[in-house]
Chains A and B, each alone.
Chain A
Amino acid sequence: MKWVSKRDLTAIAALLLAALLLLWMRNGGAESGARFEIVVEGKIVLSGGLTPEREFILDGWPDMAFAVQGGRVAITRSDCPDKTCVRTGFIGIPGQISACLPNGLLIRIIGDGGVDAVI
């Protein structure tokens, strides 16, 4: 079996170029007006703007903490075993999510239109 061919490198270059193009399009999108939604089992339990800076907790979730900072939002504390949600850190680009699978909770960022970001 051959390891790598010239055609592979062309295809890889094309993929990287596509990624760059998508990244450029993403940053060109409207970042202002983005909001966050905290969703539990498909239901939005809290929705808010990415300003002003604040820390908060949710009713019924004493072991989790959230923070809004620098136009982004994060799960800052969680009692779940894997802590993936906390490690995800701050998110603020429409489409980004920070999910805590063990707790069945997630934060998602929606664009200013809201509807266009939802399937």
Chain B
Amino acid sequence: MRSGRKIAFLGILLGVMLVLSLAEGMLPPILPPFGRIGLANIVVLYCLQCLGWREAGTMVLLKAGFAFITRGTVAGALSLSGGLLSFGALLLLLLITRKRATLAALGVAGAVAHNIGQLAAFSLWAQTNVFPAYLPVMLVAGVLTGFATGTVFRLTLPLLRRVDML
């Protein structure tokens, strides 16, 4: 892919990611204060599946940067820690399954790791070990939301593949 087209395409993907995140923010949180579906993760999954790990990592960093600019340091740090741990888990899962991981597995691994990363960042920020209070709920939430995003991705993937931007 020519680099100009690629940058433009990544820009569109970032836009999609931010809109998904924004639209989701308008819904009431499933489990206040942390619980969200994580629809934006679908874009990271798409990048991993159809573009490559560099592009997926770029999306994670850009989203955290955007959260940092628009919602402040804490939101940026939460997005970054959740995003990076989630990204790491996805790479690890693809590596150990030799890229044969199912979409549901990728969704769940990404969501659970994202939640753990956010709890770790929250623990540091609050100077309190928040894991005993929140890990059980966040594990269940990660399984449910991850399964949901994996399923949505599974449904949209055939359509996305028809988008021949590259």
**Whole-angstrom distance from the CB of B18 to the nearest CB of chain A?**
17
A-side contacts of B112, CB under 8 Å? 15
Distance between B103 CB and nearest chain A CB, rounded to angstroms: 5
Complex Cα gap A95–B128 (Å): 6
Q: Is A61 an interface residue (CB 8 A)?
A: no
Tell me whether A96 is interfacial, beta carbon within 8 Å: yes
Of the residues B102, B123, B154, contact of A119 by C-beta under 8 Å: B123
Which of B104, B127, B135, B143 meets A16, CB within 8 Å? B143
Which B residues lie within 8 Å of A42 (CB)? 127
B32 and A101: CB pair below 8 A? no
Contact for A97 among B49, B126, B143, B154, CB less than 8 A: B126
| Whole-angstrom distance between the Cβ of B26 and the nearest chain A Cβ | 12
Question: Contact: A95 with B130, CB < 8 Å?
Answer: yes
| Interface residue? B133 (CB, 8 A) | yes
Segment from A48-56, A62-70, A81-89 that makes contact with B:
A81-89
Contact between chains at B140 and A94 (CB < 8 Å): no
* CB-nearest residue of chain A to B105: A8
Asked if B124 CB lies within 8 Å of chain A CBs, one says yes
A119, B139: Cβ atoms under 8 Å? no
Q: Give complex CA distance A99, B127 in Å.
A: 12
**Interface size class of chain A, counting residues whose CB lies under 8 Å from the partner chain:** 35 or more
- Shortest A15–chain B CB gap in Å is 5
A58 to B142, CA, bound (A): 36
Question: Is B21 interfacial (CB-CB < 8 Å)?
Answer: no
Sorted nearest first, the 7 A-B pairs with minimum C-beta distance are A95-B133, A4-B104, A19-B139, A23-B136, A96-B133, A22-B136, A95-B132
Cα distance, A72 to B126, chains bound together (Å): 18
For residue B100, which residue of chain A has the nearest CB?
A: A2
User: Which residues of chain B are near A88, meaning CB under 8 Å?
Assistant: 32-33
Residues on A with beta carbons closer than 8 Å to the beta carbon of B29: 84, 87
Q: Mark A104-118, 1 if CB is under 8 A from B, else 0.
A: 001011100000011
Q: What would be 29 A-B contacts, judged by CB atoms less than 8 Å apart?
A: A1-B102, A3-B104, A4-B103, A4-B150, A7-B105, A8-B104, A11-B105, A11-B108, A15-B139, A16-B140, A19-B136, A19-B137, A22-B132, A26-B133, A39-B127, A42-B127, A84-B33, A94-B132, A95-B134, A97-B122, A97-B128, A97-B130, A101-B72, A101-B74, A102-B72, A106-B126, A110-B128, A117-B129, A119-B123
A1 x B157 contact (CB < 8 A): yes
Cα-based distance from A100 to B143 in the complex (angstroms): 27
B96-129 contact mask (Cβ, 8 Å, vs A): 1 or 0 = 0000101111001000100000000011101111
> Which chain B residues lie closer than 8 Å to A60 at the CB level?
none
